[in-house]
A and B are shown apart, each in its own frame.
Chain A
Amino acid sequence: ILNVEQSPQSLHVQEGDSTNFTCSFPSSNFYALHWYRWETAKSPEALFVMTLNGDEKKKGRISATLNTKEGYSYLYIKGSQPEDSATYLCAPQADRGSTLGRLYFGRGTQLTVWP
């Protein structure tokens, strides 16, 4: 079991604000870091899978960076919109030998964007 910390636990922002949250994980035995977006009553939606130190990925207004040496990842949302309201989960995947899909999740950051 991996100890995964996400902060903040919740965040309320105004439409148009940019925001970011943090995922901290053990840097040893690291293979990949997954970010998910989870809206109520829906399936968690895969945002990014990151493997390389210094990796930076972007999907529309959402981007993420990865530091495997110190064990953290940041998720950024530029110009937040009400439809970005969701819980954002991160989950590291330990070592390549581990079965793909065996993830250990943080508690998530619950984002609410007010119009």
Chain B
Amino acid sequence: GAVVSQHPSRVICKSGTSVKIECRSLDFQATTMFWYRQFPKKSLMLMATSNEGSKATYEQGVEKDKFLINHASLTLSTLTVTSAHPEDSSFYICSAPTGSGNTIYFGEGSWLTVV
């Protein structure tokens, strides 16, 4: 079946540095992908829609300069957390619709810890 892969699964970075998380659709092409963030004991919060070949669309309240999204190919979207701060520590997860039917597949998620 369709698979979405996310990398890295865990990353620790220092405050002030940037960290990149990749989301790949392994056996289908995705013109759109989605990035979510989950705070402890909260729901998955939609951050942005990643659009292949064009700018990402950010949800209200999400800083686009802090969370840079690039969707350079039909199988890869990247989320870069820039100038990371400890409050950016969180669980980030991506998803992609297959385009057939209405099924949306998720990656495994990435735990980011900023120290």
Known: A1-B60, A43-B4, A43-B109. A101 touches B104 (CB 8 A): yes
A105 contacts partner chain B, Cβ-Cβ < 8 Å: yes
Q: List 17 A-B contacts (CB under 8 A).
A: A1-B46, A1-B59, A4-B43, A32-B102, A36-B106, A41-B108, A43-B4, A44-B93, A49-B101, A49-B102, A49-B103, A51-B102, A99-B32, A99-B49, A100-B32, A102-B46, A103-B44
Quick one: closest B residue to A108, CB to CB?
A: B43
Would A105 and B60 count as touching, CB distance under 8 A? no
Contact A46 B43 (CB under 8 A): no
**Contacting A44 at CB < 8 Å: which of B57, B59, B106?**
B106
A49 CB contacts on chain B under 8 angstroms = 101-103
* Cβ-defined partner of A103 (8 Å) among B42, B46, B107: B46
List the B residue with the shortest CB-CB distance to A89: B44
